[in-house]
Chain A
């Protein structure tokens, strides 16, 4: 069974640009969550999608958005990039049971210059 796949793995952008990151969950998983990981702030929850609906949202500005498609694949978009958006963005999928186990991808490393 394939794991969580995130693309691209690495990308470099400049301030003011926008970026779209993609996440393909494990087959059968309907919940997809996104996390931002930085040395200073650690791991912070961005949002979660379940059956194409945003179920939870973290405390991030509106420049951060996401969506989920009918096949459970998810994308997140960051517009008007700032230097502080440089981070590892992790996607996690789940079967959405009470065990709450999340399966993480390897992440997308975004560098904003």
Chain B
């Protein structure tokens, strides 16, 4: 079974600074997808960024980028120019790419990100 580990229960960053959230995962599969989801205090989770395992290029979405190290099974999220609205719980998630895998996500425990003004 796949597992996802987020070793940082909580992180703080100064507004406008950069912060990196860590995520490692364990799988025996070669093809899969990785995601970072954000859950603000209002609780609705939204997708921040996704990475296909077969792509070597790291995904970027505006101020958000990932460092995907397939061999090390590491998938960190970098948030540049942090804003107050970035404060939330961030979840790293894994999805198998096997045809019968459906849309089952395996989540990490989450990292609370606090942004200081």
Contact = CB atoms under 8 A, between A and B. Distances in A.
B102 A42 contact: no
A9 to B, nearest CB: 10
B49 to A, nearest CB: 11
Interface string B12-36: 0000000000000000000001010
A92 B104 CA distance: 10
A31 B103 contact: yes
B45 interface: yes
B43 A100 contact: no
Interface in A24-48: 31, 33, 35, 42-45, 48
Interface residues of B, number: 24
Contacts of B62: none
Contacts of B47: 101-102
A42 B45 contact: no
Contact of B105 (A50, A88, A102): A102
Interface of A: 3, 31, 33, 35, 42-45, 48, 50, 55-56, 58, 88, 90, 92, 94, 96, 98-102, 104-107
17 contacts: A31-B103, A33-B104, A43-B91, A43-B110, A45-B104, A45-B106, A48-B102, A55-B102, A56-B104, A99-B50, A100-B33, A100-B35, A102-B103, A105-B44, A106-B43, A107-B43, A107-B44
